[in-house]
Amino acid sequence: SLDEEEGGKTCNLQHLKVISFSLPTGEAKNLLPYPGPNKMRDCFCTVNLDQEEVFRTQVVEKSLSPFYSEEFYFEIPRKFQYLSFYIYDKSVLQRDLRIGKVTIKKEDLCNHTGKETWYSLQPVDSNSEVQVRRVLLCFRIYHISLSFIKHSPRLCLNVIGVSSALHENLNPSSIFRVDLWNNGNLVQDIFLGEIKVPVKVLRNDSSHQAWYLLQPKDNGSKSSKTDDLGSLRLNVCYTEDSVLPSEYYNPLKNLLLKSSDVQPISASAAYILGEVCRDKYDAVLPLVRLLLHHNKLVPFATAVAELDLKNTQEANTIFRGNSLATRCLDEMMKIVGRHYLKVTLKPILDEICESSKSCEIDPIKLKDGDNVENNKENLRYYVDKVFSTIVQSSMSCPTVMCDVFYSLRHMAAQKFPNDPHVQYSAVSSFVFLRFFAVAVVSPHTFHLRPHHPDAQTVRTLTLISKTIQTLGSWGSLSKSKSSFKETFMCEFFKMFQEEKYIEAVKKFLEEISSTESKEPSGLTEAVHLKEGDMYKRAQGRNRIGKKNFKKRWFCLTSRELTYHKQQGSKDAIYTILVRNILAVEKLEESSFNKKNMFQVIHMEKPNIEKPLYVQANNCVEASEWIEILCRVSRCNHKRLSAYHPSAYLNGNWLCCKATSETTSGCTPCTASVPADVQIDIDEDRETERIYSLFTLNMSKFQKMEEACGSIAVYQGPQKDADDYSHFIIEDSVATFKTLQQIKAILEKLSEPHEKYRKKRSTSESQRAQGSIRFSCKQ
């Protein structure tokens, strides 16, 4: 029902509501000094949904202005009230100290999205922390009953606005304030939250029953010294899409998929999307995913790259701008090249990040005791190892990347026939400059490392990346001098100006841009999909006197799910083959009184089903594991149609009370993922995002229509050059025709969206008038 919808990825009236965040956590500054002679702090930042921590940055040591530079992207699997960021001071022996926090209400997120802002840290105390999300109150004039908290609650009722005891003729402006406390603590009661209910909403009804979200305590005047705690720089990108059934998207999807066949390409729907979006990256992400899913990316990328080449006058500037073509190829490499990077660079990057070797060769930045010659040898060793790993990896390069590189190489040679090096620089400008060099300098953004490295390692990776980038740039290899501005880098690069390096680069670029069939990456070797610490319940042994749940390191590949005693352990304690997974479902919290649990039901032996009970660290992590496990096992032939949502304990299933452990499931399994859905790509969600982008950028869409009309009327330069000159319109008639097609599709698609919004609005209005349940949800 509509009441059950809310909060993240939940089906509702055949709609799917997808709420996601992109959170580049930048830096903090002017933090409160440590009260001691040292003054410095070891700080980290956490990302929280209400009181639940979902992400944590690395610890930055000995700083009052820590720089984190970490980005988190996640979808929200449940309803929430606040998005919060806490700055902690790491403690070795005691509990980590919370220095301050930044809290943004859910309803205010849209006002902050896409804006890089410094937020003042607010103090953290028990009165500002809401421990329980919502509570059901039943008002019967002078009586309040509470039916939610599992603790031992104490309830305080105050009537704000009247000085006398409660009486029948309460002032309509009065407010009931309900404070909820937990008195289970031996030291002192713990404040859980408060609720304020205006008397006027109670009306003259004999009873009022409603859901209310608990709020922090209102302390009246706030402290004026909150700025003393410091501030945190954030750039929150918040999106919320309501995904309709697939049939609604077919017209828009089909128009986008035909883009590569449109002549000229600038008149296609996909190209127009990039033209009207304020930030091309917003358009590129869903567009590349959709085209990639339908095997339409290579012809489209080739066509837009050819348009780029038409406007390129000099060979040494080929594919150096941030055009739609370059951004599409960047995103394509990130998606299809993730496993390629992992098998190629991760081992050497792990070695670099986990060692403490100094590689600083800038005389100005050398520390006391550093030997520049030793540092130079360390740096050369790492550069040689990274370089040789890359140039020997051509057989692992994904086929899609090879197909695109083949097109780029031959188009560049045709554009500049007198330059023998341009065919190589066209490929190296992507694979070295935008792929390998970027992955080396920031491995955490490609999931090659868990966190942003420390300052010394960042410097080492930067020097390696600069050298690799220059080695891969065929244009610089054809010259007698390198392109470095720094004298120390010019001297260092002389070590690599040998013919063997030039030939190795040339051979590698030729191999990854050839049309010869390659073994598809991932078929001969298991593709790593996800890993991390979680808790698993003990299986099949006497658990008396032993912990029921133990922390284990889980690893999922395209072939198997394993768990190990700890990260780095080679031998798995337990292995489940992907082909033996029968279902992956949530487990009810009441089974073990634990949140964020799910079960992997698998075939342990022929005709013997067994559930593996797992607890994730937070709701986001649980949702991600369930989704990836469902997708990787989507084509298994013996997937279950029903399961038990609770555990089998003490001789019976808690859900249906059946006593036999082999009893068939009592609840239908969650709708299985369609067999044609690739991992991490949902075409309906991507098309909905594109629809939202067109709708949000309708003003530029209309200006593009006007530009087409201006060109057609005046048969020459546009009338308003300032407004229209940034559009690329090669054929105004064809472009205008596509614009009209898009407009008609958007208008038709807006009808079910509007119908959905009205139903939500009506439902929320009914709840606000005191119906069975209501809460402050978006």
pTM confidence score: 0.72
Indicate the pLDDT class of residue 171, thresholds 50, 70 and 90.
low
Most confident of 150-159, 473-482, 708-717: 708-717
Tell me what percent of the residues of the chain surpass a pLDDT of 70. 78
pLDDT higher than threshold 90 for residue 299: yes
Which of 318-327, 447-456, 571-580, 753-762 comes out lowest in average pLDDT?
753-762
Residues 6+ apart with CB under 8 A from 633: 578, 579, 581, 584, 639
Indicate the pLDDT class of residue 728, thresholds 50, 70 and 90.
confident
pLDDT at 280: 82
More confident residue, 678 or 636: 636
Cβ of 350: how many Cβ atoms within 10 Å? 13
Which of 6-10, 507-511, 534-538 comes out lowest in average pLDDT?
6-10
Which of 168-177, 565-574, 657-666, 694-703 comes out lowest in average pLDDT?
168-177
Mean pLDDT of 759-772: 49
pLDDT higher than threshold 90 for residue 165: no
Is residue 103 within 8 A of residue 122, CB to CB? The reply is yes
Q: What is the DSSP-derived secondary structure letter of residue 122?
A: B
Tell me what percent of the residues of the chain surpass a pLDDT of 90. 37
Give me the amino acid identity at 668.
P
More confident residue, 506 or 450: 506
Give me the amino acid identity at 10.
T
pLDDT higher than threshold 50 for residue 69: yes
Cβ of 39: how many Cβ atoms within 10 Å? 11
Mean pLDDT of 227-234: 83
Indicate the pLDDT class of residue 534, thresholds 50, 70 and 90.
very high
> What would the pLDDT profile of 386-413 be if each residue is shown by its tens digit?
999 999 998 889 889 999 999 999 999 9
Three-state secondary structure string covering 636-666 = CCCCCCEECCCCEECCEECCCCCCCCCCCCC
pLDDT at 19: 59
Three-state secondary structure string covering 196-228 = EEEHHHHCCCCCEEEEEECECCCCCCCCCCHHH
* Domains identified in the chain and CATH numbers: 2-123+229-236 (2.60.40.150), 134-213 (no CATH), 244-335+681-749 (1.10.506.10), 337-521 (1.10.506.10), 528-640 (2.30.29.30)
Q: Is 625 helix (H, G, I), strand (E, B) or coil?
A: helix
Burial of 235 (0-12, 13-18, 19+ CB in 10 A): middle
pLDDT at 246: 87
Name 586's bridge partners.
598
pLDDT higher than threshold 60 for residue 291: yes
The secondary element (H helix, E strand) that includes residue 175 is strand 175-182
Which of 99-113, 163-177, 425-439, 548-562 comes out lowest in average pLDDT?
163-177
Residues 6+ apart with CB under 8 A from 94: none
The chain-wide mean pLDDT, for the chain, equals 80
Residues 6+ apart with CB under 8 A from 691: 249, 252, 746, 749
Which of 9-18, 121-130, 382-391, 629-638 comes out lowest in average pLDDT?
9-18
pLDDT higher than threshold 50 for residue 758: yes
pLDDT higher than threshold 50 for residue 778: no
> What would the pLDDT profile of 585-621 be if each residue is shown by its tens digit?
999 999 999 999 999 999 988 888 999 999 999 998 9
What's the start-to-end Cα distance of the chain, in Å?
Answer: 16
More confident residue, 776 or 562: 562
Give me the amino acid identity at 31.
L
pLDDT higher than threshold 70 for residue 453: yes
Three-state secondary structure string covering 692-747 = HHHHHCHHHHHHHHHHHHHHHHHCCCCCCHHHHCCCCCCCHHHHHHHHHHHHHHHH
Query: Quick one: CA dihedral 489, 491, 492, 495, positive or negative?
Result: positive
Alpha helices in 337-454 (DSSP H): 338-354, 372-391, 399-415, 422-430, 437-441
pLDDT at 577: 93
- Helix count (H) and strand count (E) of the chain? 20, 26
Tokens of 412: 């560049």
Tokens of 203: 């009306």
pLDDT at 239: 82
The secondary element (H helix, E strand) that includes residue 290 is helix 280-293
Q: How many Å apart are CA 329 and CA 316, to the nearest integer?
A: 19
